[in-house]
Amino acid sequence: MSDALHEKTAAELGSCLVAGETSSEEVARAFIERANAVDEKVHAFLHRDEEDFLAQAKASDERRAKGESRGALDGVPVGLKDVICHKGQPLTAASRILENYVSPYDATTTTKLKEAGALVWGRLNLDEFAMGSSTENSAFGATHNPWNLSCVPGGSSGGSAAAVAAREAPLSLGSDTGGSIRQPASLCGVVGMKPTYGMVSRYGLAAFASSLDQIGPFSQTVEDAAILLEAISGHDPLDSTSYPAEVPNYSEVLNENKGPWKLGLPKEFFGEGIDDEVRRLVDEAIEFYRSEGHELVEVSLPMTELAVPVYYVIATAEASSNLARYDGIRYTHRSDRTGNAIDVYAKSRGEGFGEEVKRRCILGAYALSSGYYDAYYLRAQKTRTLIRQDFEKAFEQVDAILTPTSPTPAFKQGERNEDPIAMYLSDVFTISVNLAGLPGISVPCGFTEGGLPVGLQVIGQAFKEAEMLSVAHAFDAAHAFGRKSPTL
């Protein structure tokens, strides 16, 4: 492992800071230098405020000098997906409609990061309004996969995954509505986790689909993800969907629970459509658990085949409702070509939104329209309940579930742009976890012969993040695929 600060994990940086081997300002400068060196190729960031970043680092060093360190994240950089509010910084959601918007307040997750002493670092690229699986739908240019710059990093949190993979940030936050953390984590060879719905506050997150969205961490290791999850979790009265669950010391319990576990293999996730190399690497990861004495059990999630259509009814319906606020009248882009109020609304949205956002808003408005609400939205919500019940039955038999994260490794940029259905199927293994409100984590489990990363998904029971993290950590600690870094 390199001694370079930008190569270190968050836990290692924390240890170096505690031991006085480096300063927070030196850490910040190392990541500024790294971003300046490689981000022109990767395009993970939409905005970097180096002056603010260094001011945060200086404040961290001053606290430490007084013996007032705030814990494991004090002085450690964390990048933010550009849908999470950071007061005084831009929030574009990678959309022209919010091109000139500056956050007037902090998201709860941002507040929690600041309270933990973390250095909030930049605005990370994404698919516009988090709608996509490749980070090609950004109005400000696509992000490239650090392992192969001609490939996509996944999406929608592609900038957050690529920043960690390219070592431009040791940690980052993304949002996951149907796989938007786990799928890019898999394609970029990093750890990415979606917590249980309600575990992390959504206050200050630009909404896509409110019953599905959840903020979560990216990192090199499961240990780092646990440290960051602990900092951002907890009940928030500002979010009506926030759940008053206890927040354990995740990083401490990682090594305490060693099983043996009963791990479920859902037969519906191992059928057709999986790339051969993905199948081989996931099978090898499963064999590791078997060799460690854990019991592997076949389970069935029969409603899985309905997850994609159900998701695209619910998510688009909620998106069309949430995005109605971007109307050209209050704080968004306003068209110059307007003659009346209807023009302001229609032309501002027409110019401000990209094709994928328009497609989803139209689909959602249709599903919610008079005469179709019962046929589509209501039926989708009833089927969603059946999907959740499938998981509940499976968890009566097993402690956690293992699946591939993505059916394929990273694909070439532009390859699926003309086929929205092929793009939507990128999330076929992740969507049902959001519909059921469960926690899921993608852990790097190897590389294809072409050098592209592959991820193993561990699905846990609601609010049992600690057990799910322990299962993921057992594999991650033994293999450390997330510690390998690409040559840029």
Per-position DSSP letters for 339-402, written without gaps between them: SSHHHHHHHHHHHHS-HHHHHHHHHHHHHHSTTTTIIIIIHHHHHHHHHHHHHHHHTTT-SEEE
Mean pLDDT for 473-482 is 98
> 68 in a domain, yes or no?
yes
The domain of 459 spans 5-263+396-483
Mean pLDDT for 30-36 is 98
Task: Give me the pLDDT at residue 1, please.
Answer: 36
- Least-confidence region, from 4-8, 158-162, 167-171, 271-275: 271-275
At 481, the pLDDT band (50, 70, 90 cuts) reads very high
pLDDT tens-place string over residues 397-435: 999 999 999 999 999 999 988 887 778 778 899 999 999
Q: Which two tokens stand for residue 399?
A: 């402690």
pLDDT tens-place string over residues 89-125: 999 999 999 999 999 999 999 999 999 999 999 999 9
CB 300 within 8 A of CB 437: no
Task: Give me the pLDDT at residue 310, please.
Answer: 97
Mean pLDDT for 147-171 is 98
ω into residue 409 within 30 of 0, thus cis? no
> 160 in a domain, yes or no?
yes
> 382 in a domain, yes or no?
no
Q: Which two tokens stand for residue 49?
A: 């405020």
At 377, the pLDDT band (50, 70, 90 cuts) reads very high
Mean pLDDT for 334-352 is 91
Beta bridge partners of 47: 123
416 vs 200 pLDDT, higher one: 200
Mean pLDDT for 159-168 is 98
pTM above 0.85, yes or no: yes
- Least-confidence region, from 50-64, 303-317, 419-433: 419-433
- Least-confidence region, from 69-83, 305-319, 330-344: 330-344
At 2, the pLDDT band (50, 70, 90 cuts) reads very low
> 158 in a domain, yes or no?
yes
Q: Is 211 helix (H, G, I), strand (E, B) or coil?
A: coil
Nearest to 250 by CA among 478, 463, 7: 463
Share of the chain above pLDDT 90, in %: 92
pLDDT tens-place string over residues 315-333: 999 999 999 999 999 889 9
Task: Give me the pLDDT at residue 414, please.
Answer: 93
| 100 CA to centre of own chain | 24
CA-CA distance, 155 to 39, in Å (whole number)? 18
Domain count, the chain: 1
> 44 in a domain, yes or no?
yes
ω into residue 370 within 30 of 0, thus cis? no
φ and ψ at residue 475, rounded to 5 degrees: -75, -45
At 195, the pLDDT band (50, 70, 90 cuts) reads very high
Nearest 10 degrees: Cα torsion 363, 369, 375, 381: 70
What's 253's domain CATH number?
3.90.1300.10
CB 454 within 8 A of CB 481: no
ω into residue 260 within 30 of 0, thus cis? yes
- Positions marked active-site: 81, 156, 180
Mean pLDDT for 207-234 is 98
Task: Give me the pLDDT at residue 457, please.
Answer: 98
> 307 in a domain, yes or no?
no
**What Rg do the C-alpha atoms of the chain give, in angstroms?**
21
Task: Give me the pLDDT at residue 426, please.
Answer: 82
Those residues with Cβ within 8 angstroms of residue 365's Cβ, 6 or more apart along the chain or in another chain: 320
φ and ψ at residue 10, rounded to 5 degrees: -60, -40
> 472 in a domain, yes or no?
yes
Mean pLDDT for 443-448 is 98
Task: Give me the pLDDT at residue 418, please.
Answer: 81
- Apex 398 CA angle, 314 and 188, nearest 5: 60
CA-CA distance, 22 to 7, in Å (whole number)? 14
For the chain, the average pLDDT equals 96
Task: Give me the pLDDT at residue 273, please.
Answer: 86
Backbone region of residue 322 per phi and psi (left: phi > 0; alpha: psi in -120 to 50; beta: other values): alpha
> 313 in a domain, yes or no?
no
- Apex 256 CA angle, 253 and 261, nearest 5: 105
CA-CA distance, 301 to 296, in Å (whole number)? 16
Task: Give me the pLDDT at residue 123, please.
Answer: 98
Mean pLDDT for 464-471 is 97
At 79, the pLDDT band (50, 70, 90 cuts) reads very high
At 300, the pLDDT band (50, 70, 90 cuts) reads very high
Share of the chain above pLDDT 70, in %: 99
Task: Give me the pLDDT at residue 158, please.
Answer: 98
Angle between helices 222-232 and 10-18 (to 10 degrees): 80
What letters, b where the CB count within 10 A reaches 16 and e where it falls short, cover 437-471?
bbbbbbbbbbbbeeebbbbbbbbbbbbbbbbbbbb
CA terminus-to-terminus distance, the chain: 16
Those residues with Cβ within 8 angstroms of residue 319's Cβ, 6 or more apart along the chain or in another chain: 129, 131, 208, 209, 357, 360, 361, 364
